[in-house]
Structure 1
Amino acid sequence: MDGFPAFLLDGYKSFMSDRYDPEQGRYRELADQGQSPTTMIIACCDSRAAPETIFSAGPGEMFVLRNVANLVPTFQPDGGQHGTSAAIEFAVAALEISNIVVMGHGRCGGIKAALAPDAGPLAQGDFIGKWMAMLAPVADEVSKYTLLTNKERQTMLERFSIRNSINNLRTFPYVKRLEDEGKLAIHGAWFDISTGELWVMNDEGDFYRPDV
Structure 2
Amino acid sequence: MHNARPLPQYLVSRYNGWRATTFTDNRAWYARLADEGQRPRAMIISCCDSRVHVSSIFGADSGEFFIHRNIANLVPPYTPDGQQHGTSAAVEYAVQALKVTHLIVMGHTKCGGVAGCHAMCSGHAPELEDESSFVGRWMDILKPGYARISDLPEAEQIPALEREAVMVSLENLMGFPFVREAVESGRMSLHGLIHDIGDGTLFQYDGPAGQFVRV
TM-score (norm 2): 0.91
AA at the equivalent of 2:190: I
Q: Which one of the candidate residues 122, 147, 150 is aligned to 1:140?
A: 147
Contact kept? 1:49, 1:193, Cα under 8 Å? yes
Deviations 1:83-126 (A, max 9, x none): 00000000000000000000000100000011111427655662
- Residue in 2 aligned with 1:209? 214
Measure, in 1, the Cα distance between the counterparts of 2:9 and 2:73.
Answer: 30
Greater displacement, 159-168 / 33-42: 159-168
Measure, in 2, the Cα distance between the counterparts of 1:53 and 1:11.
Answer: 17
- Residue in 1 aligned with 2:190? 186
User: How has the CA–CA distance of structure 1 residues 19 and 114 changed in structure 2, closer, same or farther, with 3 Å as cutoff?
Assistant: same
- Residue in 2 aligned with 1:108? 111
Identity of aligned residues (%): 40
Gaps of 5+ in 2: none
Q: Which one of the candidate residues 114, 119, 125 is aligned to 2:125?
A: 119
Contact kept? 2:144, 2:168, Cα under 8 Å? no
Contact kept? 2:182, 2:188, Cα under 8 Å? yes
- Residue in 1 aligned with 2:157? 153
Measure, in 1, the Cα distance between the counterparts of 2:198 and 2:125.
Answer: 24
Contact kept? 2:52, 2:197, Cα under 8 Å? yes
Q: After TM superposition, which residue ranges in structure 1, 4 or more long, deviate above 3 angstroms?
A: 120-125
Measure, in 1, the Cα distance between the counterparts of 2:211 and 2:78.
Answer: 25
Tell me, what secondary structure is at the counterpart of 1:48? coil
AA at the equivalent of 2:213: Y
Measure, in 1, the Cα distance between the counterparts of 2:60 and 2:128.
Answer: 32
Measure, in 2, the Cα distance between the counterparts of 1:91 and 1:170.
Answer: 15
Measure, in 2, the Cα distance between the counterparts of 1:11 and 1:209.
Answer: 35
Matches within 5 A, 1:1-212: 3-117=6-120, 118-119=124-125, 126-146=133-153, 148-149=154-155, 152-204=156-208, 205-210=210-215
Measure, in 2, the Cα distance between the counterparts of 1:195 and 1:52.
Answer: 17
AA at the equivalent of 2:47: C
Tell me, what secondary structure is at the counterpart of 1:144? coil
Greater displacement, 154-163 / 11-20: 11-20
Gaps of 5+ in 1: none
Tell me, what secondary structure is at the counterpart of 1:11? helix
AA at the equivalent of 1:203: G
Measure, in 2, the Cα distance between the counterparts of 1:121 and 1:52.
Answer: 34
Contact kept? 1:42, 1:66, Cα under 8 Å? yes
Deviations 1:33-53 (A, max 9, x none): 100001000000000002112
Measure, in 2, the Cα distance between the counterparts of 1:4 and 1:94.
Answer: 33
Deviation at 1:141, TM superposition (A): 2.6
AA at the equivalent of 2:170: I
CA RMSD of aligned residues (A): 1.6
Tell me, what secondary structure is at the counterpart of 1:116? helix
Deviations 1:121-141 (A, max 9, x none): 655662000000111121133
